[in-house]
Amino acid sequence: MKHVIIAPLGPYMDDLFVGIREFPTERIILVSSKEKMKEAEATKKKLEQFRIPCTIKEIRSDTHIWEATFEAIAQIKSAEKDKELLINVSTGDRETRCAATSAAFVNGIKAFGVEGNDAMLLPVLKFSYYKMLTDKKLEILKVLASNPKCCSSLDELSKKTNMSLPLISYHINGTLKSEGLKELGLIETVEKKGRMEINLSMMGRLLVKGYIR
Protein backbone atom coordinates (compact mmCIF):
# COMPACT_ATOMS: atom_id res chain seq x y z
CA MET A 1 0.00 0.00 0.00
CA LYS A 2 1.23 3.46 -0.89
CA HIS A 3 1.39 6.24 1.68
CA VAL A 4 0.47 9.89 1.80
CA ILE A 5 3.46 11.44 3.53
CA ILE A 6 3.03 14.64 5.54
CA ALA A 7 6.18 16.69 5.97
CA PRO A 8 6.74 20.05 7.67
CA LEU A 9 8.80 22.39 5.53
CA GLY A 10 12.19 23.17 7.03
CA PRO A 11 15.96 23.05 6.64
CA TYR A 12 16.22 19.27 6.23
CA MET A 13 14.24 18.63 3.08
CA ASP A 14 16.79 16.06 1.85
CA ASP A 15 15.28 13.77 4.50
CA LEU A 16 12.08 13.88 2.47
CA PHE A 17 13.71 11.80 -0.27
CA VAL A 18 15.02 9.23 2.21
CA GLY A 19 11.43 8.68 3.33
CA ILE A 20 10.21 8.37 -0.25
CA ARG A 21 12.86 5.73 -0.90
CA GLU A 22 11.89 3.72 2.19
CA PHE A 23 8.10 3.97 2.01
CA PRO A 24 6.04 3.56 -1.19
CA THR A 25 4.64 7.03 -1.70
CA GLU A 26 1.40 8.04 -3.38
CA ARG A 27 1.65 11.75 -2.60
CA ILE A 28 3.47 14.29 -0.47
CA ILE A 29 1.72 16.98 1.59
CA LEU A 30 4.07 19.78 2.58
CA VAL A 31 3.04 21.75 5.67
CA SER A 32 4.33 25.29 5.26
CA SER A 33 3.89 28.77 6.65
CA LYS A 34 3.05 31.63 4.30
CA GLU A 35 6.55 33.03 4.79
CA LYS A 36 8.11 29.83 3.41
CA MET A 37 5.73 29.38 0.50
CA LYS A 38 8.41 30.08 -2.16
CA GLU A 39 10.57 27.32 -0.71
CA ALA A 40 7.53 25.04 -0.59
CA GLU A 41 6.75 25.70 -4.26
CA ALA A 42 10.39 24.98 -5.18
CA THR A 43 10.27 21.68 -3.31
CA LYS A 44 6.99 20.80 -5.01
CA LYS A 45 8.52 21.40 -8.46
CA LYS A 46 11.50 19.24 -7.56
CA LEU A 47 9.21 16.40 -6.48
CA GLU A 48 7.14 16.68 -9.63
CA GLN A 49 10.31 16.27 -11.71
CA PHE A 50 10.44 12.78 -10.21
CA ARG A 51 6.70 12.36 -10.89
CA ILE A 52 5.82 12.47 -7.21
CA PRO A 53 2.53 14.37 -6.73
CA CYS A 54 2.71 17.07 -4.10
CA THR A 55 0.27 19.47 -2.46
CA ILE A 56 0.98 22.28 0.00
CA LYS A 57 -0.96 22.81 3.22
CA GLU A 58 -0.50 26.38 4.39
CA ILE A 59 -0.63 26.81 8.14
CA ARG A 60 -2.04 29.83 9.94
CA SER A 61 0.39 32.60 10.78
CA ASP A 62 -1.80 34.28 13.41
CA THR A 63 -1.24 31.66 16.09
CA HIS A 64 1.56 29.69 17.77
CA ILE A 65 3.43 27.32 15.46
CA TRP A 66 2.43 24.32 17.60
CA GLU A 67 -1.26 25.13 17.41
CA ALA A 68 -1.00 25.86 13.68
CA THR A 69 0.78 22.54 13.05
CA PHE A 70 -1.72 20.54 15.13
CA GLU A 71 -4.59 22.22 13.29
CA ALA A 72 -3.10 21.48 9.87
CA ILE A 73 -2.41 17.82 10.67
CA ALA A 74 -5.90 17.33 12.16
CA GLN A 75 -7.42 18.79 8.99
CA ILE A 76 -5.26 16.60 6.77
CA LYS A 77 -6.25 13.50 8.76
CA SER A 78 -9.93 14.36 8.35
CA ALA A 79 -9.59 15.03 4.62
CA GLU A 80 -7.44 11.94 3.97
CA LYS A 81 -9.33 9.55 6.26
CA ASP A 82 -9.22 6.67 3.76
CA LYS A 83 -5.49 7.01 3.11
CA GLU A 84 -2.47 5.46 4.81
CA LEU A 85 -0.82 8.48 6.41
CA LEU A 86 2.79 8.84 7.49
CA ILE A 87 4.45 11.90 9.01
CA ASN A 88 8.10 12.58 8.26
CA VAL A 89 9.12 14.44 11.41
CA SER A 90 12.71 15.07 10.33
CA THR A 91 12.25 17.65 7.58
CA GLY A 92 11.24 20.63 9.71
CA ASP A 93 13.02 22.93 12.09
CA ARG A 94 13.28 22.37 15.83
CA GLU A 95 9.76 23.59 16.64
CA THR A 96 7.89 21.95 13.77
CA ARG A 97 9.71 18.65 14.33
CA CYS A 98 8.50 18.55 17.93
CA ALA A 99 5.00 19.71 17.01
CA ALA A 100 4.68 17.15 14.20
CA THR A 101 5.89 14.32 16.45
CA SER A 102 3.42 15.24 19.20
CA ALA A 103 0.58 15.63 16.69
CA ALA A 104 1.34 12.17 15.29
CA PHE A 105 1.25 10.57 18.74
CA VAL A 106 -2.00 12.11 19.96
CA ASN A 107 -3.80 11.62 16.63
CA GLY A 108 -2.69 8.02 16.17
CA ILE A 109 -0.77 8.70 12.93
CA LYS A 110 2.36 6.71 12.14
CA ALA A 111 5.53 8.79 12.03
CA PHE A 112 9.16 8.25 11.15
CA GLY A 113 12.44 10.04 11.59
CA VAL A 114 15.53 10.02 9.42
CA GLU A 115 19.07 9.36 10.61
CA GLY A 116 21.65 9.65 7.85
CA ASN A 117 20.34 7.53 5.01
CA ASP A 118 17.99 5.46 7.11
CA ALA A 119 14.32 6.04 7.95
CA MET A 120 13.08 4.72 11.29
CA LEU A 121 9.46 4.29 12.27
CA LEU A 122 8.70 5.81 15.66
CA PRO A 123 6.83 3.75 18.27
CA VAL A 124 3.07 3.93 17.85
CA LEU A 125 1.53 5.01 21.14
CA LYS A 126 -1.97 3.72 21.85
CA PHE A 127 -2.91 6.95 23.54
CA SER A 128 -6.08 8.97 23.64
CA TYR A 129 -6.90 11.87 25.91
CA TYR A 130 -10.59 11.21 25.36
CA LYS A 131 -10.37 7.77 26.96
CA MET A 132 -8.88 9.41 30.05
CA LEU A 133 -11.36 12.27 30.31
CA THR A 134 -14.75 12.04 31.97
CA ASP A 135 -17.63 14.24 30.91
CA LYS A 136 -17.01 16.42 33.96
CA LYS A 137 -13.36 16.96 33.07
CA LEU A 138 -14.31 17.87 29.49
CA GLU A 139 -16.90 20.28 30.84
CA ILE A 140 -14.24 22.02 32.94
CA LEU A 141 -11.99 22.37 29.90
CA LYS A 142 -14.81 23.84 27.81
CA VAL A 143 -15.66 26.37 30.54
CA LEU A 144 -12.03 27.47 30.71
CA ALA A 145 -11.92 27.74 26.91
CA SER A 146 -15.09 29.84 26.69
CA ASN A 147 -14.04 32.13 29.55
CA PRO A 148 -10.47 33.30 28.80
CA LYS A 149 -10.29 35.36 31.99
CA CYS A 150 -11.54 32.48 34.15
CA CYS A 151 -10.53 31.44 36.66
CA SER A 152 -8.64 33.19 39.41
CA SER A 153 -9.53 30.52 41.97
CA LEU A 154 -11.03 27.06 42.40
CA ASP A 155 -14.05 28.73 43.97
CA GLU A 156 -14.67 30.80 40.81
CA LEU A 157 -14.33 27.71 38.62
CA SER A 158 -16.73 25.89 40.93
CA LYS A 159 -19.36 28.57 40.37
CA LYS A 160 -18.81 28.67 36.59
CA THR A 161 -19.26 24.90 36.27
CA ASN A 162 -21.92 24.43 38.96
CA MET A 163 -19.73 21.76 40.54
CA SER A 164 -18.89 21.52 44.22
CA LEU A 165 -15.49 22.74 45.37
CA PRO A 166 -14.32 19.22 46.43
CA LEU A 167 -15.36 17.85 43.00
CA ILE A 168 -13.49 20.63 41.17
CA SER A 169 -10.40 19.98 43.27
CA TYR A 170 -10.66 16.25 42.49
CA HIS A 171 -10.84 16.81 38.72
CA ILE A 172 -8.05 19.40 38.77
CA ASN A 173 -5.59 17.65 41.08
CA GLY A 174 -6.58 14.01 40.72
CA THR A 175 -5.80 11.21 43.18
CA LEU A 176 -3.38 8.31 43.41
CA LYS A 177 -5.78 6.26 41.27
CA SER A 178 -6.99 8.93 38.86
CA GLU A 179 -4.97 11.59 37.03
CA GLY A 180 -6.28 15.12 37.25
CA LEU A 181 -6.30 17.71 34.48
CA LYS A 182 -3.12 19.24 35.89
CA GLU A 183 -1.16 15.97 35.71
CA LEU A 184 -2.50 15.30 32.21
CA GLY A 185 -0.96 18.59 31.12
CA LEU A 186 -4.26 20.07 30.01
CA ILE A 187 -4.35 22.95 32.50
CA GLU A 188 -1.79 25.15 34.21
CA THR A 189 -2.11 26.47 37.75
CA VAL A 190 -0.37 29.37 39.47
CA GLU A 191 -0.51 30.28 43.16
CA LYS A 192 -1.36 33.96 43.60
CA LYS A 193 -1.96 35.43 47.05
CA GLY A 194 -3.01 32.07 48.44
CA ARG A 195 -5.41 31.34 45.58
CA MET A 196 -4.95 28.94 42.68
CA GLU A 197 -5.35 30.55 39.24
CA ILE A 198 -6.39 28.02 36.59
CA ASN A 199 -5.79 28.32 32.83
CA LEU A 200 -5.88 25.99 29.87
CA SER A 201 -2.47 24.79 28.72
CA MET A 202 -1.65 24.79 25.02
CA MET A 203 -2.47 21.07 24.86
CA GLY A 204 -5.78 21.79 26.56
CA ARG A 205 -6.65 24.45 23.98
CA LEU A 206 -5.75 22.11 21.14
CA LEU A 207 -7.95 19.37 22.57
CA VAL A 208 -10.97 21.64 23.02
CA LYS A 209 -10.57 22.93 19.47
CA GLY A 210 -10.64 19.36 18.16
CA TYR A 211 -7.05 19.20 16.92
CA ILE A 212 -6.39 16.14 19.08
CA ARG A 213 -8.29 12.90 18.49
Residues 157 and 88 in one domain: no
CA distances from 178 to 108, 111, 171 (A): 23, 30, 9
Which residue(s) pair with 179 in the sheet? Answer: 174
What is the separation of C-alpha 6 from the centre of its chain, rounded to a whole number of angstroms?
Answer: 13
Residues 182 and 112 in one domain: no
Mean pLDDT over 131-143 rounds to 88
How confident is the model over 59-80, as pLDDT tens digits?
Answer: 988 888 999 999 999 999 999 9
3-state secondary structure of 23: coil
Domain that residue 186 falls in: 129-208
Phi, psi torsion values for 161, nearest 5 degrees:
-100, -10
- Final residue belonging to a domain, choices 71, 99, 121: 121
The pLDDT assigned to 63 comes to 85
pTM above 0.85? no
Element (H, E) at 110: strand 110-115
How many domains is the chain partitioned into structurally?
2
3-state secondary structure of 32: strand
Q: Is residue 38 part of a domain?
A: yes
Residues 100 and 172 in one domain: no
- Final residue belonging to a domain, choices 103, 121, 139: 121
Flag whether pLDDT at 144 surpasses 80.
yes
Q: Where are the alpha helices (DSSP H) in the chain?
A: 14-22, 37-49, 65-79, 94-107, 129-132, 135-146, 154-161, 165-173, 202-208
How confident is the model over 157-186, as pLDDT tens digits?
Answer: 999 999 999 999 999 988 888 889 998 889
Of 18 and 124, the structure prediction assigns the larger pLDDT to 18
Q: Is residue 213 part of a domain?
A: no
